[in-house]
């Protein structure tokens, strides 16, 4: 059994490495090549090349494709660029715009992993005769009774929240060589290999919104999401007007464009978005308290069936938060419901709720919009 858990000699084990052009995926490919594996690098072109060459700091942009190819050429393994532009637009960008138009706050990085990378690219890797698909994600794949997904050892780089939708079949085929490393160790390896990307900054923000202006992208694709409407207090009083619900997120306090009410002593927060009526509903912080949420498209990686009964778990509803205790169960109607041990504040529809058992990822689902 080789280091990837495959019963072959490394030279007879083909591993496709998803290479974004950054230091993490480059080191992943370099380490596997050093260990004697039959490495094939693949980079996805997700945009029109004429546009992306002008963008810096974005994953899978023109410079990144060049950087990935340079690493492969230096180390001496084959590298291919696949045109996934249409798949990315349909599965990620269109979904992103639809979610914002529904008054949600999407996470396109999860959707990209769920569709373009771990569905489409994984199928391509199998077509190439690969025994595994390796990525530079900071998560760990461990073997219990079956392959399990665990947090990366570097708490500052752990990406398990973004991979909750990885299915058991995908996890059986995936490998994450960097999951047991600190980021500093990865950069040390890049320097040791003499890679030009050793000091390359990590990508920031959403790759197809390099300037961070999400509203402009959504307005272009879904102009109805920018329709003006009323800003309404939870008690029904109209407090002002807005220029589109896409400019607001649940829990937002600043930049509401309204003053406090005469008899109110507490600041106002966005507590709900009503895309049907183009309304932004605001209220005191107490109105943000959420005792339970319902999820859609739940992926479950636990040992028992979720339908067997309620399960005590730790959950995260944002990637950077500390996990909180909760119970997850299937309701009589077949929905999956999460009940927090204590009401949670600022729950945003469209975000992910990820389940953990200590460091093991048990899956997760997408938070649904609560109807008033």
Q: What is the pTM of this model?
A: 0.91
Q: Are residues 105 and 237 in the same domain?
A: no
Looking at the domain assignment, is residue 216 inside a domain?
A: no
Q: Are residues 122 and 270 in the same domain?
A: no
Question: Quick one: pLDDT at residue 153?
Answer: 97
Q: Of the candidates 247, 263, 283, which is a domain's last residue? A: 283
Domain total of the chain: 3
Q: Are residues 31 and 59 in the same domain?
A: yes
Catalytic residue among 59, 60, 109, 207: 207
Question: What is the rounded distance in angstroms from the CA atom of residue 172 to the CA atom of residue 166?
Answer: 10
Question: Quick one: pLDDT at residue 203?
Answer: 77
CATH of the domain at 299: 2.40.30.10
Q: Are residues 182 and 294 in the same domain?
A: no
Q: Are residues 49 and 114 in the same domain?
A: yes
Question: Quick one: pLDDT at residue 52?
Answer: 41
Please say if 353 is a catalytic residue: no
Question: Quick one: pLDDT at residue 57?
Answer: 53
Nearest to 207 by CA among 351, 60, 362: 60
Question: Quick one: pLDDT at residue 47?
Answer: 66
Question: Quick one: pLDDT at residue 218?
Answer: 87
Question: What is the rounded distance in angstroms from the CA atom of residue 85 to the CA atom of residue 49?
Answer: 10
Give Dmax (Cα) for the chain: 75
SS3 201: coil
**Residues 94-105 pLDDT 10s:** 999 999 889 898
Q: Are residues 67 and 115 in the same domain?
A: yes
Which residues of the chain, if any, have pLDDT below 70?
47-61, 204-205, 210, 260-262, 371-372
Question: Quick one: pLDDT at residue 182?
Answer: 97
Question: What is the rounded distance in angstroms from the CA atom of residue 185 to the CA atom of residue 181?
Answer: 6
* Number of Cβ atoms within 10 Å of the Cβ of 265: 7
Q: Are residues 233 and 348 in the same domain?
A: no
Contacts of 329 (CB under 8 A, 6+ apart): 306, 309, 310, 311, 336, 337, 339
Domain that holds residue 41: 10-192
Q: Are residues 186 and 134 in the same domain?
A: yes
Please say if 207 is a catalytic residue: yes
Catalytic residue among 59, 60, 109, 112: 112
Looking at the domain assignment, is residue 265 inside a domain?
A: yes
Q: Are 155 and 132 in contact (CB under 8 A)?
A: no
Question: Quick one: pLDDT at residue 225?
Answer: 83
CATH of the domain at 115: 3.40.50.620
113: burial class by Cβ within 10 Å (0-12, 13-18, 19+)?
buried
Q: Are residues 247 and 113 in the same domain?
A: no
- For residue 346, report the phi and psi dihedrals to the nearest 5 degrees: 75, 35
Crossing angle (nearest 10°) for helices 94-101 and 214-221: 90
Question: Quick one: pLDDT at residue 95?
Answer: 93
Question: Quick one: pLDDT at residue 220?
Answer: 87
* Number of Cβ atoms within 10 Å of the Cβ of 194: 10
Q: Are residues 184 and 309 in the same domain?
A: no
């Amino acid at each position: 059994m080789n280091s990837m858990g495959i019963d072959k000699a490394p030279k007879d084990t083909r591993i496709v490495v998803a290479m974004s052009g950054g230091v993490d995926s480059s080191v992943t490919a370099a380490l596997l090549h050093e260990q004697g594996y039959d490495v094939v690098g693949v980079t996805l072109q997700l945009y029109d090349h004429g546009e992306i060459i002008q963008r810096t700091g974005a994953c899978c942009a023109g410079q990144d494709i060049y950087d990935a190819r340079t690493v492969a050429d230096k180390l001496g393994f084959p590298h291919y660029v696949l045109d996934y532009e249409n798949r990315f637009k349909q599965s990620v960008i269109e979904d992103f715009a639809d979610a914002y138009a529904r008054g949600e706050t999407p996470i396109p990085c999860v959707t990209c992993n769920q569709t373009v990378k771990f569905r489409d690219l994984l199928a391509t890797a199998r077509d190439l005769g690969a025994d595994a698909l390796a990525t530079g994600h900071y998560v760990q794949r461990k073997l219990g009774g079956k392959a399990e997904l665990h947090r990366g050892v570097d708490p500052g780089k752990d990406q398990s929240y973004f991979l909750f939708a990885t299915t058991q079949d995908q996890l059986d085929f995936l490998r994450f060589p960097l999951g047991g490393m600190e980021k500093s160790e990865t950069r040390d390896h890049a320097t040791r290999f003499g890679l030009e990307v050793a000091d390359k900054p990590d990508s920031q923000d959403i790759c197809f919104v390099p300037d961070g202006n999400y509203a402009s992208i959504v307005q272009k694709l879904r102009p109805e999401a920018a329709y003006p409407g009323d800003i309404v207090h939870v008690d029904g009083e109209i407090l002002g007007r807005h220029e589109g619900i896409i400019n607001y997120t649940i829990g937002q306090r600043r930049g509401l464009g309204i003053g406090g009410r005469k008899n109110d002593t507490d600041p106002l927060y966005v507590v709900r978005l009503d895309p049907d009526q183009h309304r932004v509903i605001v209220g005191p912080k107490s109105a943000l308290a959420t005792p339970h949420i319902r999820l859609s498209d739940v992926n479950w990686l636990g040992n028992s069936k979720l339908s067997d009964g309620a399960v005590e778990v730790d959950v995260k509803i944002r990637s950077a938060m500390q996990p909180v205790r909760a119970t997850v169960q299937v309701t009589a109607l077949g929905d999956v419901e999460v009940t927090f041990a204590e009401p949670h504040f600022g729950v945003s529809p469209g975000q992910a709720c990820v389940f953990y058992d200590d460091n093991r990822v048990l899956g997760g689902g997408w938070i649904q919009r609560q109807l008033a």
